[in-house]
């Protein structure tokens, strides 16, 4: 099989751990597979380099930041190739550019445009393990670009798609995707399979194993991802296309996001352009608005509610406070959390949301806001009920079975 491995910063966080990764790669190679291995910078390195740059400038040039930060992955890639060679596994290290990863010109948050797989294929055909520095590419002028946080996942998925790999194994310090956060609900179970769409919802709701950009790309390129731990032999979770038989599972997982704050605007004039005006001002300040709910108007006045990251509430409050027209009352609450249930089964089954609402009511948990998508129901509740809500929902959908 042709497989892409990707090892994150924690998995290559020390020389011992890089050796451990080399052992894993060597085993997979000896088992007869062809391999491309994508690596992150050793954990802590990227932050160290960012701190270095901040010493000189609060707003360092993005082009130079890319050149600076890309060095971390180059170091890991070189070291892993050296470790593999020492074990008798023929290996070659490549920068993103050498691996043919061409991006647009947006420094620090570039998008991969194409991958010229010629160099990688040549080395694979020679029986070599290709070790690629993740998180980076080059733009059309040959300048180094980086792909933003989680960019190494993106490199791995893009490469897997471009070379037609059978799977893209993403290694981290957790051994897969769980039905919910095991620190909140010890009876959480590791899923053996989850669809791209479910993973997308879970990731955007705070499950941190995989970033959305790479899941989106995997879905688009139809790359099978396997999320695994580099510290154990446990089977991971496969992230792939929706499968027959999935309908039987109503709900796949419960996500909890504690870092949200609620903004409620009352008696807002119900005329075109008001919402646009408010959210444009928030966007101008780079405030990430998540849930947005507007109730149908009755007397020409409406209620507008939305959530923002807790850390951005002060900035949001300032903007709203300076908004001097068309708003009757306002209410800010950072003492909330968002609990979400996710499952492709919801598409074809009614009553999934109702089950959730009933369960919450039984526990006397008041739901302040509700937002739904095709495969997700999110509820904003008081923060103190967070764990109770997660455990209740985990149980009512029988995720521990």
Is 22 an interacting residue with respect to a copy of itself (CB under 8 A)? yes
Is 85 an interacting residue with respect to a copy of itself (CB under 8 A)? yes
Task: Say if residues 129 and 77 touch (Cβ distance below 8 Å).
Answer: no
Write down the least CB distance from residue 229 to a copy of itself, Å: 23
Within 113-152, which residues bind a copy of itself (CB under 8 A)? 142-144
Q: Which listed residue (63, 190, 266, 330) binds a copy of itself by CB under 8 A?
A: 63
Q: Output the six-digit token pair for 386.
A: 């967070």
Is 15 an interacting residue with respect to a copy of itself (CB under 8 A)? yes
Is 75 an interacting residue with respect to a copy of itself (CB under 8 A)? yes
Write down the least CB distance from residue 124 to a copy of itself, Å: 17
The residue among 20 and 294 lying less far from a copy of itself, judged by its C-beta, is: 20
Is 55 an interacting residue with respect to a copy of itself (CB under 8 A)? yes
Is 60 an interacting residue with respect to a copy of itself (CB under 8 A)? yes
The residue among 67 and 301 lying less far from a copy of itself, judged by its C-beta, is: 67
Write down the least CB distance from residue 45 to a copy of itself, Å: 10
Q: List 214's β-bridge partners, or say none.
A: none
The residue among 135 and 385 lying less far from a copy of itself, judged by its C-beta, is: 135
Is 64 an interacting residue with respect to a copy of itself (CB under 8 A)? yes
Is 95 an interacting residue with respect to a copy of itself (CB under 8 A)? yes
Per CB under 8 A, which region of 60-68, 178-186, 207-215, 270-278 contacts a copy of itself?
A: 60-68
Write down the least CB distance from residue 370 to a copy of itself, Å: 47
Write down the least CB distance from residue 39 to a copy of itself, Å: 13
Is 212 an interacting residue with respect to a copy of itself (CB under 8 A)? no
Is 298 an interacting residue with respect to a copy of itself (CB under 8 A)? no
Is 398 an interacting residue with respect to a copy of itself (CB under 8 A)? no
């Amino acid at each position: 099989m042709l497989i892409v491995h990707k090892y994150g910063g924690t998995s290559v966080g020390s020389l011992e751990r890089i050796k451990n990764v080399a052992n894993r790669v060597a085993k997979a190679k000896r088992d007869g597979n062809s391999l491309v291995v994508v690596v992150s910078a050793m954990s802590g390195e990227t932050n160290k380099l960012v701190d270095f740059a901040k010493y000189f400038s609060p707003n360092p040039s993005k082009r130079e930041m890319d050149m600076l930060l890309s060095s971390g992955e180059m170091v890991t890639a070189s070291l892993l190739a050296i470790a593999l060679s020492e074990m008798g596994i023929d290996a070659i290290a490549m920068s993103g550019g050498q691996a043919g990863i061409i991006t647009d010109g947006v420094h620090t948050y570039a998008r991969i445009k194409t991958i010229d797989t010629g160099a990688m294929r040549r080395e694979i055909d020679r029986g070599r393990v290709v070790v690629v520095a993740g998180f980076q590419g080059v733009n059309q002028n040959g300048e180094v670009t980086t792909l933003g946080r989680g960019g190494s996942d993106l490199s791995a998925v893009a490469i897997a798609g471009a070379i037609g790999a059978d799977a893209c194994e993403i290694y981290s310090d957790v051994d897969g995707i769980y039905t919910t956060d095991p620190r909140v609900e010890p009876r959480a179970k590791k899923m053996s399979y989850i669809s791209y769409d479910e993973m997308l919802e879970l990731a955007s709701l705070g499950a941190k194993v995989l970033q959305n950009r790479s899941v989106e790309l995997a879905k688009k390129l139809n790359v099978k991802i396997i999320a695994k731990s580099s510290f154990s032999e446990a089977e991971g979770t496969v992230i792939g296309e929706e499968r027959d038989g999935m309908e039987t599972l109503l709900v796949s997982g419960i996500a909890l996001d504690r870092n949200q704050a609620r903004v409620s605007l009352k008696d807002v004039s119900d005329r075109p352009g008001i919402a646009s005006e408010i959210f444009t001002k928030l966007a101008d300040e780079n405030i990430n608005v998540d849930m947005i709910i507007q109730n149908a108007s009755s007397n020409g006045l409406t209620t507008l509610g939305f959530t923002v990251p807790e850390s951005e509430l002060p900035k949001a409050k300032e903007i709203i406070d300076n908004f001097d027209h068309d708003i009757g009352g306002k209410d800010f609450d950072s003492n909330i959390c968002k609990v979400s249930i996710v499952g492709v089964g919801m598409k074809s089954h009614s009553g999934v949301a109702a089950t959730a609402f009933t369960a919450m009511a039984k526990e006397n948990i008041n739901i302040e806001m509700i937002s739904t998508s095709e495969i997700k129901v999110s509820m904003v509740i008081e923060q103190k009920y967070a764990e109770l809500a997660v455990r209740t929902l985990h149980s009512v959908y029988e995720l521990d079975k």
